Structures are given as C-alpha cells and as structure tokens.
Chain A
Amino acid sequence: MFENLQEKLQRTFKALRGQAVLSEENMQEALRELRLALLEADVNFKVVKQFIDQVQAKASGQQVMTALSPGEQVIKIVRDELVEILGKDTAKVKFASQPPTVILMAGLQGSGKTTTSGKLANWLKNGGHRPLLVSVDVYRPAAREQLKVVAQTIKAHIYEGEVGEANTATVERLAKEAKREAVISGCDVLIVDTAGRLHIDDQLMDEMQSLKRLLNPQEILFVADAMTGQDAVNSADEFHKKLTLTGVVLTKLDGDARGGAALSIRQVTGQPIKFIGVGEKYDALEPFHPDRIVSRILGMGDILSLIEKAEQSVDKKKAQEIASRALAGDGFSLEDFRDQLRQVKKMGSIQSLMGMLPSIGPFSGLQKAADKVDEGQINRVEAIINSMTNHERLHHEVINGSRRKRIARGSGTSVQEVNNLLRQYAQMKKMFKQMGKGSFMRRMAGMKFPGM
C-alpha cells in the first residue's frame, strides 16, 4: 500500500553514496519524500511545512556518519526532531492538593470520551485511587446509561443524579452535585464525562467554560481520534483557546491510522499527549511514548532500534568468515549453522524483533506470522547440534541411524526432528554451494546474514 519511508529515503540516497556531507541539494529529494510521508500520515500541512524547515536546518552541513547510510541518518534526524516536539517523557496526571481532583473530559462527538473516562477510572483504581464518574451528557440518547454500564463493568463509583430538562442548567447542577458527592463519599478523583461538541458550537463551548469555572479542574483532557485528518488543528486549537487544555488523550490507536494528528494537536496546543487508547477493553489505556508514535507516523516501526540491536549483537567478522567459507564450497558446517542460530538468539525473541517493525502496510502479515513462530524450535535445533560430536558437526554424512538415535536421546528430541534438521542443513549447504559457483558470490560475501 504505502512504501516505507526508510526504503524511499534509501532509494533517494543511492545516488549520493560517497558524498560526505548532507547538503541542501542532496537533501531536496529526501525532504520531498518526508513531506509526502507526513501528509499521508495526516499531519497538518502547515505543521509539515514548519517541520521540514526545521529538519533542513538541522541536517544540512552534517557529516555523514559512517555507521549509518545518509538515508538512515536523515531518518535519525527526523526521528529525534519529532520526539523532541512530542516531548520526551510521558506526562503524569496532576492531582489536587485538596481532594477531590477533578478531571474534565472534552472533545468532539465520537472521539471516545465515555470509553476513555471508564478506562481512566480503571487506571486510577489500579493505582490505588477512588475515582467517581459522572456523565453530564444530557443530550445524546443513552449517553448517561453508557457511562453507567461502563462504571458497573469496572466496578467504579458513579454519580447518577436526576436529569430534568436537557439544558446547560442541568449540566451545571449535575456537575456541582457530583463534586459534593465525591467529597461525601470520600472519592479522591472526579472524572466528568461531557457531551461531544463541535468547536464552533458557541453555545456548547460556553457550557464547557462554565463547567470549568464551576469545577476548577486540575486536568482538562482533550480526547481526540487518532484517525483525524487535517482538521485536527482547528478543533484542538479552538478547544485550547476556550478551555486551556492540560493534556490530550489519543484514542483508537489500535487501528491502523498513522496518527499524524498527534503531531498537529501537540503543535497547536503545546500540551502533552498523556494517554493513548489501544482497544475496547477498559484496561486498554497506556501512557504515551513519543518514540513509538513517531515510528508509526513515519510508517517504519522501530527500525532504528532494530538496526542498533542487530549491530550490537551480530559479530560481523564471524558472519563474514562463515559466509566466505560457505560460498567457497563445503565449508558450511553444522557448527557454523549453530553459530548462526546463536546470533539470532542473541538479538532477542523473534516476536519482540517483529514488534519493532511497523504493524501496518507490508509488514502486517509478518507480525501475524511471528506469533506463530515457535521460539522453542531454535532451542531444540541448538540442542540437537550440541549433542553431536565435533566430528559429526564437521562431517554430517557420518551420522547414521544409531548416531541419530543417540543424538535424539541426548538432546531430548526425536529421531524425526534430527532427520528434519539434517535435511534442512543439507539443503542449505547445497544452496550455498550453488550460490558460491554462480554470480551471487560477490553479493553474498558482503551480506551480514548468510542464508538465515
């Protein structure tokens, strides 16, 4: 569907190999790709423009680091810059010195305020607090019932109150009553779920302001849908102007939206994203980590960490040795095979590696596949090779029936598994041999991972 930014940049920079400095000229193409990637991720176009200028200023004149390709280096600059904008640390909830702490939820219709209120109450409960929920959404049909069901599900306290007429006076009354109720029942946090409203609806925005005056909340959280497009700046800006938000909750991040709205909202409000919603269950609320959303916006998963991890754990020299020996002919022994396995193991579990890849686009299938990978399989294969003698590892053809039985017993596996391994090994060896003879030779010798 979309090409990953990393690939695009690398393609862009192919022509630049050998150029030592990132210059304005050689950056142009890269920045164009970056611009498209950010726009496709729904970052507001004005924010994109501003951001590109920033990156350009930072990048031009930088020495190309030997460890990273120019493409990777631009990505690194972009990432660092994005993380910088989004704020390095996860923000905390501010509590009142004199309870109850009041958290006012605000946002457009359908952004997920009620669900988030429930999740927040659940999160606070788990943190040892005693939250009280109240819904002052007297307008949407069954909105208050919805919060009631939510409260029952998570076993949180709720102030129901009586609704007479659906108007601002009722809303204010309910809010006041709920705050009193919180004091009486000894609840230290009051979460006020409000009706969804458009930022240009003056009447309802006034109501929001009067709620703020009335409750004097410690937190006013803007709940925003991660799928929001260019308009995110308009609504966030207006809500912030009218209410002075203290934080943002980005919802529905369990979808496959790139979530560029996070950047737009952060840019116009200057307020931290405090939480993200990642599912329909009430425990699916997580503190926000800027680095993760940055990778997601760029559509590249945590590829930098993946690169780092690979470079740390793989012994390049050894890998090259194995590669050249394997390609030269018979040199790829079972011992080499085991070394390869160990290097893979050193990099960490396959699931966690796959987890660093983007969960969207071309990688989505890969992640699902990773769930099915049997980590124990690698251990078993290693155990089988460990149970062989040195001679057997170097000359696999001597492994006859009785040796197989012994190896299976020694490694706690079955003869069948030993057979499988030997068959796979023979295939690999044959493959290497063919490659070594063919024109692949040179390419393979430079590879970090022969045949794995």
Chain B
Amino acid sequence: MKQMGLLNWARASSPWILHFNTGGCNGCDIEVLAALTPRYDVERFGILVKGSPRHADILLVTGPVTRQVKNRLIRIYEQMPEPKFVVAVGSCAVSGGIFNNAYNVLGGVDKVLPVDIYIGGCPPTPEAIINGILKLVTKIKEAH
C-alpha cells in the first residue's frame, strides 16, 4: 500500500454519510438504518450519519432515480464539499431494479451521478452495506 497522506488519513478515518432515498420502496432504508444501530457499531470506523450535505463526504443513495427527483439529487450532490463519493445501495440504485424502464424512472444512480461503489441486493444486508462503505474507505486511503 502506498504511503497515506495526512488528508487521506483524515478522510478515511471519518467517512461521514448523507442518506438519500431517490424513490425506493423503503426496504433499503430500513437496512441502512439497521446498519447504523449499536449492534453493528459503525462508529468504530468513524462512520457518522449527517443531516446536511455540507457536512457529508459520502452520498448513500437508495432507490431508483425518478424523473422528478433527478434535479434534487444533483442539487444535493453539488452542495457536498469535495472530495465526495457516491454509494449506490440496493438493486434499484445500482440499475433501476424492477423499476427500470418504468415511465417515471430514469434508472440507476449512475445515470445522473458518478458512482464509486455499488452494493447489490434487494435489500442488501447491513453487513453488505458496511462492507461496501469500507471498500470505499480503502479506495480513499489508496487515493493520491
């Protein structure tokens, strides 16, 4: 592994998350909430959920991107400070899932935003979500 810089060390030690549902069924949101409970204790990795995009490093998106939510999603993403990362949680956020090709759905999050990590599953387990975020953290550590 490359030598980690101070900034990357700080970023990798405090991946703060903003959770946003772009039109899903709420199943993934429940799993995301479960992943944040003391049972899984994600704060040992420095993961915290923030209420404002201005405080967040990672945008955790659940649900397919609908036509109506597209501009709101972009607006939230643009309010996040650099460097920022996007994690697509669940089959819908990855590809549109069963809602793909519906008249009101654009597809997965990557139709609108650059996605760093895809976590499949309908819904993915809390372990899978944590694993995905940790893979992103490894990516941050290895970044220049």
The yes or no verdict on A and B being binding partners is no
